[in-house]
Amino acid sequence: MDMSAARGARERLVVVGGDAAGMSAASQARRMRGPDELEIVAFERGHFTSYSACGIPYWVGGDVEEREQLIARTPEEHRGRGIDLRMRTEVVEIDVAGQRVRARDVDTGAESWASYDKLVLATGARPIRPDMPGADAPGVHGVQSLDDGQALLDTLARTRGRRAVVVGAGYIGVEMAEALINRGYEVTVVNRGSEPMATLDPDMGRLVHEAMEGLGITMVGNAEVTKVLTGEDGWVRAVATEDAEFPADVVVLGIGVRPETSLAAAAGLPLGAHGGLLTDLAMRVRGHENIWAGGDCVEVLDLVSGQERHIALGTHANKHGQVIGTNVGGGYATFPGVVGTAVSKVCDLEIARTGLREKDARRVGLRFETVTIESTSRAGYYPGAAPMTVKMLAERRTGRLLGVQIVGREGAAKRVDIAAVALTAGMTVEQMTALDLGYAPPFSPVWDPVLVAARKAVAKVRAAADGSSGGPAGGPMPTR
């Protein structure tokens, strides 16, 4: 259906979701095409647009003073750039055949339909909320949105007790543990897995575990939270697992997210195995010529494993938005996929990963060698040199780099970018050893820790090839 013919010459782009992916797409489309060619209507059900959820732990922890510092662009600024942004308005239905969406004013409940020529879905992800008694009690907080961050800060200002429990030890749980330590809380992190940071192999997660305990954080692993206990005033007083109770004046939930695709599912749009929308390389929803999707609501191609994954990261959401806006605006751009790079920190401990973990490689049938090396952030003799551990996976026979994990102090996190580039380029660990990386004593040892790991990986791949009888390659087998 040509909706623009019915409305006059101007095409209409409708965007659902007003944060990283949605407003990047809207802004880029506006750069490509002026208001007389393209009308842009964006719906956001919340109070904020273009905000950095990534900054919430640092705002809660006090490193960032004002909420407004986390807002890249306000609704007024977007409107000033010719985007008809409708705040506190939730899209509740997509009529794909009729090319229109039904929108509801969150405050008044008033509903209306808006037609589109092109539609962008950027609805993000929704936090997993544990289905257990007390999960909604006052004093229990998620940290997905700026409203969540504000509610948590209000609770911290109100509570006199200083005991905090963080449920979940992914990167958000780990960053929130730091925020609460910085606020002077006694922090306990309760985690289902044995080690924090399940995006690392357990041996590297162990290093994070030890460092967090060194910071005074109580780490409880292999523990499932079964209920939140409340006091007579209805407020949280403890978190219970099968075996124990942990007193809490405040609880922060960080147990992961799922793609927010309920609207898309109801409209019959294609979803993948992880519940995210499936798109082509131009970020167009598969099988739908005039619908695009990006950010936390889509699945992305993992270029190392060749499989689709759901990875909720702002860095991807912004790139998706840029690609979508370019294509919607009549240009051409693609998003080829990701290698799975992510960095975070807890106090001065930096944590980085890219590519495949051991279990990812096994799952897709890759045989590999692993090496783990200890090095330092600066030349050993230079003041302030701090330990750094690098783990590297390389494919058997070919020596192709498969993944890198780094845990250490300053400089550990962004060092992983070397490996991210090498993975993207499909380099072998042998090729990596010749990389012309910068060196001076204040920045690294003469052999950068990543190159030390690459050299050791080369030796191991060669030794395995020499020792091989020509039968099936025997990478490390799963431990039982």
Catalytic (active-site) positions: 54
Q: Which is nearer to ligand FAD, 221 or 314 (CB)?
A: 314
Residue type, 348: D
Q: Which is nearer to ligand FAD, 53 or 223 (CB)?
A: 53
Report the candidate in 196, 193, 187, 192 with the shortest Cα–Cα distance to residue 247: 187
Q: Which is nearer to ligand FAD, 300 or 451 (CB)?
A: 300
Q: Which is nearer to ligand FAD, 107 or 233 (CB)?
A: 107
Cβ 310 to ligand FAD shortest distance, Å: 11
The answer to whether residues 94 and 264 touch, using CB atoms and an 8 Å cutoff, is yes
The answer to whether residues 205 and 196 touch, using CB atoms and an 8 Å cutoff, is yes
Q: Cα–Cα distance between 425 and 423 in angstroms, integer?
A: 5
Cβ 292 to ligand FAD shortest distance, Å: 13
Say what the alpha-carbon torsion angle 435, 439, 444, 446 is, to the nearest 10 degrees.
80
Q: Which is nearer to ligand FAD, 238 or 342 (CB)?
A: 342
Cβ 308 to ligand FAD shortest distance, Å: 17
Q: Which is nearer to ligand FAD, 318 or 370 (CB)?
A: 318
Between the alpha carbon of residue 48 and those of residues 73, 74, 87, 88, 392, the distances in Å are: 9, 7, 8, 9, 41
Cβ 297 to ligand FAD shortest distance, Å: 6
Q: What is the largest CA-CA distance in the chain?
A: 74
Cβ 375 to ligand FAD shortest distance, Å: 25
Q: Cα–Cα distance between 171 and 164 in angstroms, integer?
A: 17
Q: Which residues bind ligand FAD (CB under 6 A)?
A: 16-22, 43-46, 53-54, 56-57, 90-91, 122-125, 143-144, 172, 260, 263, 295-296, 312-315, 317
φ/ψ bin of 53: left (φ > 0), alpha (ψ from -120 to 50), beta (otherwise): alpha
Distance of CA 477 to the CA centre of its chain: 29
Structure tokens at 308: 């689709």
Q: Which residues of 335-371 are buried (b: 16+ CB within 10 A; e: fewer)?
A: bebbbbbbbbbbbebbbbbbbbbbebbbeeebbbbbb
Cβ 266 to ligand FAD shortest distance, Å: 11
The answer to whether residues 360 and 393 touch, using CB atoms and an 8 Å cutoff, is no
Q: Which residues of 220-231 are buried (b: 16+ CB within 10 A; e: fewer)?
A: bbebebebbbbe
The three-state (H, E, C) secondary structure of 104-166, written as one string: EECCCCCEEEEECCEEEECCCEEECCCCCCCCCCCCEECCCCHHHHHHHHHHHHHCCCCEEEE
Q: Which is nearer to ligand FAD, 58 or 447 (CB)?
A: 58
Report the candidate in 167, 291, 329 with the shortest Cα–Cα distance to residue 241: 167
Q: Cα–Cα distance between 144 and 57 in angstroms, integer?
A: 10
Q: Which is nearer to ligand FAD, 22 or 329 (CB)?
A: 22
Structure tokens at 474: 């025997």
Q: Which is nearer to ligand FAD, 342 or 390 (CB)?
A: 342
**Backbone phi, psi, residue 6, to 5°:** -65, -30
Cβ 18 to ligand FAD shortest distance, Å: 5
DSSP state of 318: H
The answer to whether residues 139 and 224 touch, using CB atoms and an 8 Å cutoff, is no
